[in-house]
Amino acid sequence: MLIFHTIPELQIYLQSAGKKGLKTGFVPTMGALHKGHLSLIQQSKAYTDISVCSIFVNPTQFNDPNDFSKYPITLSADIEKLLGIGTDVLFLPSVAEIYPAGTANLPHYELGFLETVLEGQYRPGHFQGVYQVMKRLLQIVEADDLFMGQKDYQQCMVIQQLLQQENISTKLHIAPTLREEDGLAMSSRNMRLNPQQRITAVYIYRALLQMKQQLQPGNLNNIKEAATALLTNNGFTVDYTELAHATTLEPLTQWNGTDPVVALIAAYLGEVRLIDNMVLTH
């Protein structure tokens, strides 16, 4: 595995590979890698010739500085995992490498409706940070294919919008969420849960299953309220339990029985904020 810290070194290598007709796959991460990340790299390896993983904890997407300071850093373990599955390239840039002019006066991007609901509403500025860093990384790597996980459902929609707005030819592949045996979605933030919280965390998955079981045409408010109650009664502080149109993310209060529906949850256990989702219709 080749490790690059600077953009010129990485680009010289990738441009040379491109001249040989090799396809590049890209998996951007913030480290604290788990099986979900590794499955994306394995998908990239199956689909492309060179798989690039980046590890960069992006300061501009944390609306809470406390959350940024507590984000788990496990670089040695991450490198071992990447070596273990045969990752070709690891890009480890500094903040100065990604933001040479600093992070104070970055451009503001038009994200429209996506920035006003769910994660956009509860984490102001978060998707601006996601857009900023992903635009930069995609310009640096110039990958043929980009691999991301469905757990960050709304973020995937933002990235798809970025690709269209910036006229970037990279193709986005969204992989299903990987779960622990008890159903909890794999997440770097799970490392911050204490043993009791880790047991309790599975109620997010149970709340999603409950919404799936209760879904029927008509008013949806009772279904959302029941999911909120399940979480609140088990010690969560809930940001949202939402049923939304799976393509537009428009929150639904009524369901016509045919529109595609996704259930989305964000809730705190102590200081740790967990998100998850489940597409309820096919």
Gyration radius of the chain over CA positions? 19
C-alpha pair distances (Å), 33 with each of 6, 44, 85, 253: 21, 16, 12, 37
Q: Give the residue numbers of the binding site.
A: 30-37, 61, 149-152, 155, 178, 186-189
The answer for residues whose C-beta is within 8 angstroms of residue 69's C-beta and 6 or more apart is none
C-alpha pair distances (Å), 240 with each of 89, 125, 177, 230: 38, 18, 19, 12
Residue 149, SS3 per DSSP: strand
113, amino acid identity: F
Q: Give the residue numbers of the binding site for (R)-pantoate.
A: 61, 155
- Identify the bridge partners of residue 273 per DSSP, sorted by sequence position: 268
One DSSP character per residue, 243-266 reads EEETTT--B-SEE-SSS-EEEEEE
Beta strands (DSSP E) in the chain are 2-4, 24-29, 50-55, 89-91, 145-149, 171-175, 218-219, 237-245, 254-255, 261-269, 272-279
Q: Give the residue numbers of the binding site for beta-alanine.
A: 61
- Concerning whether 126 is annotated as a catalytic residue, the answer is no
**H/E run at residue 224:** helix 221-232
Q: Which of 5, 37, 108, 126 is catalytic?
A: 37
Torsion of CA 197, 66, 187, 45, to 10 degrees: -160
Any idea which residues carry the catalytic annotation? 37
